[in-house]
Amino acid sequence: MTTTLDTVVIGGGAMGSAAAWALSRRGRQVTLVEQFGPGHTIGASHGTTRNFNPGYHRPEYVAMVAESLDLWNELEQESGQTLLARTGIVTHGPEPMLPDAAAALAQAGLRAEFLHPDEAGERWRGIRFDQQVLYMPDGGQLNPEAALPAFQRLAAARGADIRHHTKVVSFEVADDGVRLGLESVAGTEMVTAAQVVVTAGGWTEKLLGAAVGGRLRTPKLRVTQEQPAHFRITDSDAVWPGFNHYPGGGSQYAGWYSPVYGMHTPGEGIKAGWHGVGPVVDPDRRSFEPEPQQLAALQTYARTWLPGVDADAFEAISCTYTTTPDEDFILDRMGPVVIGAGFSGHGFKFTPVVGRILADLATGTRPAPAIFSASR
């Protein structure tokens, strides 16, 4: 027997949970299926801190930053929880696009100002600042461990069916929708969905490629295992914003793999990491062990640029990035399949906006911005 459903969201991480929330707010029948349990640490949506970094200059992203602030506020009010700690974000280093970002944010009504490195160092003495410092007071840290259950709980309160430990084992695009085989502890169930929203993170290409024989084409996705670390704080009185540090071409940047991002994770220390340069992995066959050379380089960075931490006292952590060649997201619809993928290590801040866009695509309300087209 085959069950007929309206909209099935595949993947209960950040984007799938937000899509379920957005669709349920519109009165749609939603079934969210997630192959792992609540709060799992196998993908990209776990942990208690992600930077809300407003520092974009392209108009599509700046508009999404502004909308995200509004939607995170709505989620906080609806859930009764504080999800965004407004510590501010500082981006520093010889990055030529920082003036463009400051101008774009100001035009959108978002606060941004340049500080002298000495002034920034007096305000945030745990960080050594480099050449130019862009301070964005509207930024801060989001809490995934609180946000994901909030999205799901509120969606369920509006009638969404949230199913953990439910894996999609077959996927076929048919004339009447999408036929899915769902495997759970209760056995295998066959369903036909009028449409599906695929938010499967590192499993996206496995799901779509094997299931539909290449009929749904997207930009190539690269799945990497990223290995940031929490460093122990040595200056207990230091104040910590979220931060990003862009390198230049001088010898002081020798050994860098990428820009560095970081933030204070209460109770765990200062999180710092390279951006999107970890080893390529199969998400089902990860080591969760840090790549030794990258970890050593990260310790060297901390010794030089983070005087408020102990570079030799740390705990390595692990997550995945699913990255497109241009680091722009995939938000598109092809027939009965809506795809949200390729968030490239900078998507979490946009979670509720991505949920809104996926709901728009699923309901035919409006298209996503062209830069997110799967056919680009």
CA 27 – CA 157 distance, rounded (Å): 11
* pLDDT (0 to 100) of residue 215: 59
- Stated as kind and residue range, the H or E segment containing 240 is none
What mean pLDDT is reported for the chain? 96
Task: Give per-residue pLDDT as tens, 349-360.
Answer: 999 999 999 999
Task: Give per-residue pLDDT as tens, 258-293.
Answer: 999 999 999 999 999 999 999 999 999 999 999 999
Residue 54 has pLDDT above 60, yes or no: yes
* pLDDT (0 to 100) of residue 62: 98
Q: How many CB atoms lie within 10 A of CB 280?
A: 9
Task: Give per-residue pLDDT as tens, 166-224.
Answer: 999 999 999 899 999 999 999 999 999 999 999 999 999 999 875 544 556 778 999 99
Say how many CA atoms lie within 13 Å of 107 toward its Cβ: 13
Quote the DSSP letter at residue 280: B
Residue 29: what residue type? Q
Identify any residues that bridge with 236 across adjacent strands, giving them in sequence order: none
Lowest mean pLDDT among 103-107, 111-115, 208-212, 298-302: 208-212
Asked if 272 contacts 262 with a C-beta cutoff of 8 angstroms, the reply is yes
Task: Give per-residue pLDDT as tens, 25-34.
Answer: 999 999 999 9
* pLDDT (0 to 100) of residue 213: 47
Judging by beta carbons within 10 Å of its beta carbon (0-12, 13-18, 19+), is residue 312 exposed, middle or buried? exposed
- Which domains occur in the chain, in start order? 1-48+143-219+325-376 (3.50.50.60), 87-140+222-323 (3.30.9.10)
* pLDDT (mean) for 119-125: 98
Residue 10 has pLDDT above 70, yes or no: yes
Report the Cα–Cα distance between both ends of the chain, in Å, rounded.
Answer: 39
Task: Give per-residue pLDDT as tens, 306-349.
Answer: 999 999 999 999 999 999 999 999 999 999 999 999 999 999 99
* pLDDT (0 to 100) of residue 210: 53
Kindly provide the b/e burial profile for residues 161-174, where b requires at least 16 CB atoms within 10 angstroms of the residue's own CB. ebbbebebeebebe
